Amino acid sequence: MTEREYRTPCFIIDEEKLLRDFNMLKDSLEASWNHYRIGYSFKTNSLPWLVTFLKARGVMAEVVSDDEYALARWLGFADGEIIYNGPVKERASFEQALLAGGIVNLDGQRELDWLEELCGAHPDRRFLVGIRVNFNLESLCPGETTMGEEGGRFGFSYENGAFARVVERLRRTEGIEIAGLHLHSSSKSRSVDIFRAIAAMACRLKREFDLDLSYVDLGGGYCGGLPGRPQYPDYFPAVAGVLREEFTPERTALIVEPGISLLSSATTFVTQVLDVRDIGDRRYLITDGSRFQIDPTMIKSSYLFHLELDPSGPKERPEMERQCVSGYSCMEVDRLFELENGPELMAGDRIVYENVGGYTMSLSPLFIQYFPDVYVRREGELKKVRERWTPREYVQNCMLYQEEI
Ligand SMILES: *Cc1c(COP(=O)(O)O)cnc(C)c1O
């Protein structure tokens, strides 16, 4: 299928761009810290094609729920190729991962209890675990973190002594080895300084607690593919410079868990104008895309996009001061942006949103319309890698009302 033959709305992933960004990640890790693992963040976008594309390149699965763990297994990751994070792990998959030598980063008291009981049940085994660290990143990078002064809620707090108590508790139990630290922290800035501060925290913890670590996991949260913003080759030399104070690549692997930075520049969302209407003195463009599909958390104030005018439409398009681009849903908030001083758009014209790979396909609700088609562009041809959902998929696992029980 070629361009314009496909049905909108749809996501298109450009394989060449995806590969370029992936190689940029690999090459910069290789150059800065040649002992590394990449764990792809499933929650960012767990489209099966995408996940298996990355798996074919040696990437591990980074998962934060039992469902994601099961999806990783379904898609062919062995237990040892999974990084199991987050506070809502389930006990069975937690034990399965540890018994198989997967990477498990502890996040909560109940996991400590599970771990001790697992050790009791397998006195002949050694279990390698990581600890998710919660630390005051905001004080090191003022104004840059997502939660600001309030701080994040994940992991064990360094400042209030919870981290120290966990280290002590794990050291008391025979058969447990503290193999790694997990320092994922979300930031608004995604700056290189954030990652320098994270690396410095790893060094500080190693010194203070005399840890012998086989990995330092920086987590995700990188920028990628945005002009004027940092790229992989900016982060890893800076991180390596800090880590080398306390660590060597021979002894300690660097783990990274990229999500959005890997996918965004490769992914577009193609929508089409369905209807043009004037209400009072305002012009509305009703499109077949929705804000729910590319900004499900309703936080974006602007979008990267380009227009593709319908080649069969009029050649001359007068400029219009304002056109309100809105979505298909019946909610008034479903307005994407004001197109200012643009060509007057008509039904059939396309608005193509750029940089929409992360937190879109996975987070979009099944609201009014179901999941749209996803295509991959390979050598100019489009291949469908997810068929749009229909009522058939929607009703799966549902029971219908029956008068008789
Ligand atoms: C969300 C998340 C990531 C990925 O974050 P991006 O911003 O998409 O790079 C990685 N690790 C953990 C633990 C996460 O929660």
CA angle 208, 212, 218 (to 5 degrees): 80
Cβ of residue 220 lying under 6 Å from some atom of ligand 1: yes
What is the per-residue pLDDT for 297? 85
Is 398 an active-site residue?
A: no
How many CB atoms are closer than 10 A to CB 114? 18
What is the per-residue pLDDT for 363? 86
**SS3 assignment, position 65:** coil
- Tokens representing residue 209 in the block: 């607690």
Residue percentage of the chain with pLDDT more than 90: 91
Tens-digit pLDDT profile for residues 31-87: 999 999 999 999 999 999 999 999 999 999 999 999 999 999 999 999 999 999 999
Mean pLDDT of 19-31: 97
What is the per-residue pLDDT for 6? 85
Cβ of residue 43 lying under 6 Å from some atom of ligand 1: yes
How many CB atoms are closer than 10 A to CB 230? 20
Q: Which ligand 1 atom is at minimum distance from the Cα of 43? A: 1
Cβ of residue 130 lying under 6 Å from some atom of ligand 1: no
Cβ of residue 219 lying under 6 Å from some atom of ligand 1: yes
What is the per-residue pLDDT for 149? 86
Q: Which ligand 1 atom is at minimum distance from the Cα of 358? A: 8
Find where tokens 């089409």 sit.
272
- Compute, in angstroms, the gap from residue 182 CA to the centroid of ligand 1: 12
pLDDT band at 299 (very low <50, low <70, confident <90, very high): confident
Rounded CA separation 152/142 (Å): 14
Q: Which of 141, 223, 330, 398 is catalytic?
A: 330
Computed over every residue of the chain, the mean pLDDT equals 95
- Tokens representing residue 244 in the block: 């080398």
Mean pLDDT of 276-291: 97
Cβ of residue 221 lying under 6 Å from some atom of ligand 1: yes
Mean pLDDT of 159-170: 98
Instruction: Tell me: pLDDT of 1 over 70.
Output: no
| Of 115, 111, 128, 135, the residue nearest 212 (C-alpha) | 128
Instruction: Tell me: pLDDT of 292 over 70.
Output: yes
Cβ of residue 259 lying under 6 Å from some atom of ligand 1: yes
- Compute, in angstroms, the gap from residue 321 CA to the centroid of ligand 1: 39
pLDDT band at 2 (very low <50, low <70, confident <90, very high): low
Tens-digit pLDDT profile for residues 191-243: 999 999 999 999 999 999 999 999 999 999 999 878 899 999 999 999 999 99
What is the per-residue pLDDT for 226? 83
DSSP H or E stretch at residue 279: strand 267-279
Instruction: Tell me: pLDDT of 405 over 80.
Output: no
Instruction: Tell me: pLDDT of 389 over 80.
Output: yes
Q: Is the pTM of this model over 0.85?
A: yes
- Compute, in angstroms, the gap from residue 328 CA to the centroid of ligand 1: 30
What is the per-residue pLDDT for 224? 85
Q: Which ligand 1 atom is at minimum distance from the Cα of 260? A: 8
| Of 270, 273, 302, 226, the residue nearest 372 (C-alpha) | 270
* CA distances, 229 to each of 97, 191, 386 (Å): 36, 8, 31
What is the per-residue pLDDT for 362? 85
What is the per-residue pLDDT for 3? 66
pLDDT higher at 94 or 365: 94
Instruction: Tell me: pLDDT of 404 over 90.
Output: no
